[in-house]
Structure 1
């Protein structure tokens, strides 16, 4: 069976380190400074025979107002309420603090299954803190070292009976008395609704304070991610599963990306690197722009990065509810887009308001359209008819009097679409003619906005034995002759 375990505790007690240990990979950012984690991050943990969902949370602080710390606390308290089990971490080297005692009392009231663990307890330095943890009144503490993996077996022994109890509860809840169900005519023959085998991977990227987390909360229909007026709230790439307009999606919220010259903080560098990894794993990238300052230099760099990584790209202009002259602004945006990002010409550009939820249906349709184009395949017969027409309309140049012959074209892959054209003198084909062919592919096969990869190969490129020295016969083979 499966259950949900939330790791909670004060800042810098080692929650993210233990989270990474349980999921078996470095999903959460880890740094010595407190308050690195701000959002809730989920992962699939494996501990002995147990399989469960583990939640990494922001550090609990004694703030209840609308400050950043207060909003982080409310998000963590929500994780406590939605989890089946809470693992309350204290720092064994520091010992039990008054703040730990306050939150131990809160957890006792909010969650039926609370396990207290003294982390960083390796060696003699953590002995006193481990013994103090008994005084929290949450049962016998588990002695742990998330960094070194010590005490994980003890944690498993504590979790096993709780997991069994939760499994029995779920079995009882699912047993219902048999009832006669009325079936409407024709329902028994109804075809099942087709579903995607895997969720669509979507990353939302952009500059700080563009509204990425607010947009994802609007798609989720709940305040799942931390938001606010402060720039740079999101620090690591958080992935969330959601059914968006009937489409299973795993959506990644990423940290705001600033110019490299402005990034001197080690943690911000880690955050940006985490966001770049999310772009590489995504299938569709939503580049979120601020309507008040769209297409700044950093926006162009982010969009170009997504194109170079070969991702399907959708541009979304946020805070559209604040725009007064909508028609004039939209016309200006489209003109700027075509001029500043010619490599993405034809990609969807959608206006949205993450705050009000307006335009999310159009954004979903644009994402699905971009994904479909990104997966498009063209037959070799169609490509060769197209290539003949392109050469007839505009023959290849003849550098140095050598006539370039393009013999055939074929598509070698999708995601993004990639094509190979077999030609004589591939190195002599100018870049302008390659662009002519790419633009032709984009227009004639309806592939607007998606990255297209075109490779020119000579006839000898497909011969694996070209330029290989002829093997000399051995003395024995000469003798056998």
Structure 2
């Protein structure tokens, strides 16, 4: 199983500076960046590492309502979701606007949770402003207020120290065998996640309902087939956009992010009757960015029985929409009838074996040499690009570091070429792989 990182949620009214604070925190993410090309989308979460502690920061910005009453309801629901699903909550207030009625209501809700809550007053960028703007916020009944400036960084470092002290540590469960393959079932509401898990278990161990959102919390079930244990993680659906409550969509991915942190293989369920949607590709985007192995399960395939034209059209739509994870196996199933489900776990076992693959440096360098001989890289600013050697630095997914003279000079298309050469040479056709380019340190003489 993967290590689960704590989830820290930023909540608060619109325009208090959540996105600005999110961007400032995100500057502290890991320095090594994987340049693997993938899906482009708006980021509302980031893996952040501060003083060797890692957490997932989620920005809940963008919640807007029509009128004060609507706004209060949305902020209340946002806060309730944070209390249920985040591990630490950051409630951001606007120092220049002062305390508003909604702030009292949210503070009252947050006092009821047993989770760590930090109250930050933004737009305070000097000791003088701190003395003038902070006192009214003590009316919220809060013992500790953190004056910060998302724009200028004032007060951020002292707050970081307090935040790190409240981040929980998640030890691995002793009840789960060490060779367990962890599977997360993700998808929109009512796509059949719980039905699929019940089919795999062979018994009605979960409540299955046609009402979207029945699964409120992540539920884990241990299943052993032969000698191989699997941990099945069922989650609530990631909501669609459009309805008033769906203004919380950015925030509703919290639970999915938590499941992604704990799983090895992601099972993305798509409704064959509705086809693939933007939300489905967004879930795949999250999985891709977390480096998780994926399977695309086209559920309710029986609905298209006898309609060859629609079957072909749907598979073409899925192929186009998921081109950035073209390695992910696609399986047509029916959780209701059981059709195709027997192929699921054997395919997962194949994926997992590749996902944990470890390769000798000698083999990797032979593949790199063959790739260079087959196709030389272009010149960079009049200088020839040189690739010195490669080695594997991690698994899950297999990640390779290549030392070169000009990492920034490697064109996007040549990196993709190298990825494909490694994928073919190592027979890793069903999982993501990563290549990190690093400049080789030049020797100094003197």
Q: TM-score range by the shorter chain?
A: 0.5 to 0.7
Deviation at 1:338, TM superposition (A): 3.3
Structure 2: how far apart are the matches of 1:443 and 1:342? 18
Q: Which residue of 2 aligns with 1:243?
A: 224
SS of structure 2 residue aligned to 1:343:
helix
Structure 2 length as normaliser, TM-score? 0.56
Of residues 453, 457, 460, the one that matches 2:434 is 453
Q: Which residue of 1 aligns with 2:304?
A: 323
Q: Which residue of 2 aligns with 1:230?
A: 211
Deviation at 1:259, TM superposition (A): 4.5
Q: Which residue of 2 aligns with 1:201?
A: 182
Of residues 377, 389, 394, the one that matches 1:413 is 394
Change (3 A) 1:391 1:327: farther
Asked if 1:211 corresponds to 2:192, the answer is: yes
Per-residue deviation, residues 362-395 of structure 1 (Å, max 9, x unmatched): 1111211111111112221111111111111110
CA contact (8 A) 2:365 2:389 kept: yes
Q: Which residue of 2 aligns with 1:274?
A: 255
Aligned pairs for 1:23-422 (under 5 A) are 197-244=178-225, 246-259=227-240, 264=245, 272-325=253-306, 331-422=312-403
Asked if 1:434 corresponds to 2:415, the answer is: yes
Per-residue deviation, residues 407-444 of structure 1 (Å, max 9, x unmatched): 11111111011011111111111111111111221222
Unpaired stretches in structure 2, ≥5 consecutive residues: 1-75, 82-111, 113-175
Q: Which moved more, 1:236-245 or 1:278-287?
A: 236-245
Deviation at 1:258, TM superposition (A): 2.0
Deviation at 1:270, TM superposition (A): 6.9
Deviation at 1:340, TM superposition (A): 2.0
Deviation at 1:339, TM superposition (A): 2.4
Q: Which moved more, 1:316-325 or 1:396-405?
A: 316-325
CA contact (8 A) 2:270 2:280 kept: yes
Unpaired stretches in structure 1, ≥5 consecutive residues: 1-31, 38-119, 121-194, 471-481
Per-residue deviation, residues 102-141 of structure 1 (Å, max 9, x unmatched): xxxxxxxxxxxxxxxxxx9xxxxxxxxxxxxxxxxxxxxx
CA contact (8 A) 2:390 2:402 kept: yes
Per-residue deviation, residues 25-81 of structure 1 (Å, max 9, x unmatched): xxxxxxx99xx99xxxxxxxxxxxxxxxxxxxxxxxxxxxxxxxxxxxxxxxxxxxx
Structure 2: how far apart are the matches of 1:319 and 1:248? 26
SS of structure 1 residue aligned to 2:305:
coil
Deviation at 1:265, TM superposition (A): 6.9
Structure 1: how far apart are the matches of 2:385 and 2:301? 51
Change (3 A) 1:435 1:271: same
Structure 2: how far apart are the matches of 1:326 and 1:407? 54
Structure 2: how far apart are the matches of 1:427 and 1:208? 42
Q: Which residue of 2 aligns with 1:59?
A: none
Change (3 A) 1:338 1:380: farther
Per-residue deviation, residues 257-277 of structure 1 (Å, max 9, x unmatched): 024675747998776412220
Change (3 A) 1:421 1:239: same
Per-residue deviation, residues 287-308 of structure 1 (Å, max 9, x unmatched): 0011112221111111121111
Deviation at 1:220, TM superposition (A): 1.3
Change (3 A) 1:246 1:456: same
CA contact (8 A) 2:364 2:390 kept: yes
Change (3 A) 1:268 1:371: same
